[in-house]
Amino acid sequence: MLRIAESLETQLRAAMQRAFPDAAASGQGFDPQLAPASKPEFGDFQANGALPLAKPLGQPPRKIAEAVVEQLKADPTFCELCLEPQIAGPGFINLTLKSERLAAEVQSRLGDARLGVPAVEQAAPVVVDFSSPNIAKEMHVGHLRSTIIGDSLARVLEFRGHPVLRLNHVGDWGTQFGMLITHLKQVAPEALETADAVDLGDLVAFYRQAKQRFDDDEAFQTTSREEVVKLQGGDPVSLKAWGLLCDQSRREFQKIYDRLDIRLSERGESFYNPYLEGVVKDLEASGLLVVDDGARCVFLEGVSGKDGKPLPVIVQKSDGGFNYATTDLAAIRYRFGQSPQGDGARRVVYVTDAGQANHFAGVFQVARRAGWLPDGARLEHVPFGLVQGEDGKKLKTRAGDTVRLRDLLDEAVERAESDLRRRLQEEERQEDEAFIAQVATTVGLAAVKYADLSQNRITNYQFSFDRMLALQGNTAPYLLYAVVRIAGIARKGGDLEAGGTAPLQFSEPQEWALVRELLKFDAVIAEVEEELLPNRLCTYLFELSQVFNRFYDQVPVLKSDGAARQSRLALCRLTADTLKLGLGLLGIPTLERM
Ligand code: ARG
């Protein structure tokens, strides 16, 4: 009801100004403080704007509210929209929309593919930096979280009409390659010349060994560093080896993205290599750069270490090498920069685990102070908590190894399949294998995504196959089932498309509850766009399913007739459309039967 809220806000402000013309003339501001009603018995909206006016106007807030209500009652546009406003408590104004307005609002959504969600007026490029695993390392559950959350945020932003650049900032540069190449030269040189000469699994193991040697052996460290310098200097042999390694990891990552239906453009750390010098020069020119113990760094304002001294962001080490932070600074500069040397973004968001919060806070501060952010630009870290096993500890396999994503997704699908087979047997249903495979895949992957998205992302999240696959509760299967239930109404002869023409009529409280729930959708989407919290959308879809199920259990639909039947079918259809669109924005496809 974003549009209605907007016009109510305008009407309220005007009413306030008319009620207190002298104050308005002398520059008093009026904010209606319009919010959705906190309880259904208070109507649809409440305006709390009278309270803060008590002091400047020198009147009790209830009196102020009364004067505003008088003005509202004299406004014909307002009277078309709302019943007579009620004053409650110390001076809240409660507003209830007229039922014909609500019905008309439902009706207008029936023919609207956007379901009432307006496209933004000023579209601005947004960069969503997500997934971003590291080459020659296994993509882990943290990356899975980033992938799922980032994709859903990108979908919401895209749906709102922003051009979204989905960037995979893969770790494909830096010391780790020096180590790996040095090690491989000695133990598996073929991997540096021939594609796929070793398995990715082996590559990961080689990487681990290389890291170990790097930590233990000084000579190895030196050679590795030299190797990085060679690579960064464009040595053809090193570059070729690097290319092969990246390619192999890339194909492995892509398999996961394909399964999860994730689109991403790879633009790894190496992309910013040519811009690193520029970052240092820029920081030097702006006077931010300090040389400390041979390292070039920027000291942070308001962030100090244990010794009470300000913490630095090191942009160039004493050996001349650059850091993860330098690359991120170059990336910020590029993303906000104008094309052809930049993306022209207005908002850049990073989806990573909360452990990187300090890194981003530091880098963001440096970028701001360096003046790389255009006016009104937004730079946001979207942190999330750890993925834990059901024991509350780090997620591991029974054997104690880290869980491979492929195995995790396989297991979700397998479990969804055995649940389904059990259900089919209980219900004595016959389905072919193609159906079983499709439902199991959809439900299994949906469960993994939804379990992650429905948590407040900031908190740690306990991974539990049993919980995420349950048919009851705030789960993907529960929501998918609501869609299936509505598709079933159509199969039983309910023409869901019929409700679009004649005026809708509702009488039962369960119908009104569903109407009001349906009309919240646009505000929820706008909120997710703003706050980047997909769990808000999940909670909404869960509540909508519950309100729908209550309606459908208690109010006859197929057994009613005339205008009531048409109107109820229209509610069913709009519920299904809202669930489908909402789940789609979470990256979850729906089913007609399951
Ligand atoms: N590769 C990093 C990791 O695995 C995440 C990169 C996030 N993006 C960024 N621009 N720093 O932790």
Count of the separate structural domains present in the chain = 2
Q: Does ligand 1 have an atom closer than 6 angstroms to the CB of 568?
A: no
Domain finish residue from 208, 233, 262: 262
CA distances from 244 to 149, 189, 196, 317 (A): 30, 12, 8, 28
Residue 495: partners with Cβ closer than 8 Å, 6 or more residues away: 569
Residue 170 CA, closest ligand 1 atom number: 1
Asked whether residue 10 is assigned to any structural domain, the reply reads yes
Asked whether residue 155 is assigned to any structural domain, the reply reads no
Ligand 1 center to residue 383 CA distance, Å? 12
- Rounded to whole angstroms, how far apart are CA atoms 351 and 149? 7
- Rounded to whole angstroms, how far apart are CA atoms 90 and 146? 46
For residue 578, pLDDT beyond 60? yes
Asked whether residue 585 is assigned to any structural domain, the reply reads no
Contact between 210 and 180 (Cβ < 8 Å) = yes
Asked whether residue 65 is assigned to any structural domain, the reply reads yes
Q: Does ligand 1 have an atom closer than 6 angstroms to the CB of 171?
A: yes
Asked whether residue 203 is assigned to any structural domain, the reply reads yes
User: In this structure, what CATH number is given to the domain that contains residue 71?
Assistant: 3.30.1360.70
**Tens digit of each residue's pLDDT (9 = 90 or more) over 388-404:** 998 888 888 877 778 88
Residue 39, burial from CB neighbour count under 10 angstroms (0-12, 13-18, 19+): exposed
At CA 265, angle to CA 264 and CA 270, rounded to 5? Answer: 130
DSSP 341-377: SS---SEEEEEEEGGGHHHHHHHHHHHHHTT-SPTT-
**Tens digit of each residue's pLDDT (9 = 90 or more) over 258-272:** 999 999 999 999 999
For residue 499, pLDDT beyond 70? no
Pocket test for ligand 1, best of 132, 145, 165, 279 (most atoms within 8 A of CB): 132
Contact between 447 and 413 (Cβ < 8 Å) = no
Q: Does ligand 1 have an atom closer than 6 angstroms to the CB of 548?
A: no
Ligand 1 center to residue 435 CA distance, Å? 39
Q: Does ligand 1 have an atom closer than 6 angstroms to the CB of 132?
A: yes
For residue 302, pLDDT beyond 80? yes
Full domain range(s) for residue 22: 2-97
Residue 359 CA, closest ligand 1 atom number: 11
Domain finish residue from 197, 231, 262: 262
Contact between 261 and 583 (Cβ < 8 Å) = no
- Rounded to whole angstroms, how far apart are CA atoms 252 and 230? 27
- Rounded to whole angstroms, how far apart are CA atoms 135 and 154? 23
User: 3-class SS at 88?
Assistant: strand
For the chain, how far is it from start to end, CA to CA, in angstroms?
32
* Alpha-carbon torsion, ordered 79, 82, 84, 90, to 10 deg: -120
The pLDDT, as a whole number, for residue 498 is: 66
CA–centroid distance for 491 within its chain: 34
Nearest 5°: phi and psi at 238?
-65, -40
Domain finish residue from 262, 287, 322: 262
How many of the other CB atoms lie within 10 Å of CB of 330? Answer: 24
What mean pLDDT comes out for the span 82-86?
97
Same domain, 93 and 6: yes
- Rounded to whole angstroms, how far apart are CA atoms 197 and 246? 13
What mean pLDDT comes out for the span 39-66?
94
Asked whether residue 247 is assigned to any structural domain, the reply reads yes
Q: Is the peptide bond before 509 cis (omega within 30 degrees of 0)?
A: no
Pocket test for ligand 1, best of 137, 356, 364 (most atoms within 8 A of CB): 356
**Tens digit of each residue's pLDDT (9 = 90 or more) over 131-187:** 999 998 888 899 999 999 999 999 999 999 999 999 999 999 888 899 999 999 999
Asked whether residue 131 is assigned to any structural domain, the reply reads no
For residue 500, pLDDT beyond 60? no
In sequence order, the β-bridge partners of residue 87 are 93
For residue 287, pLDDT beyond 60? yes
Asked whether residue 569 is assigned to any structural domain, the reply reads no
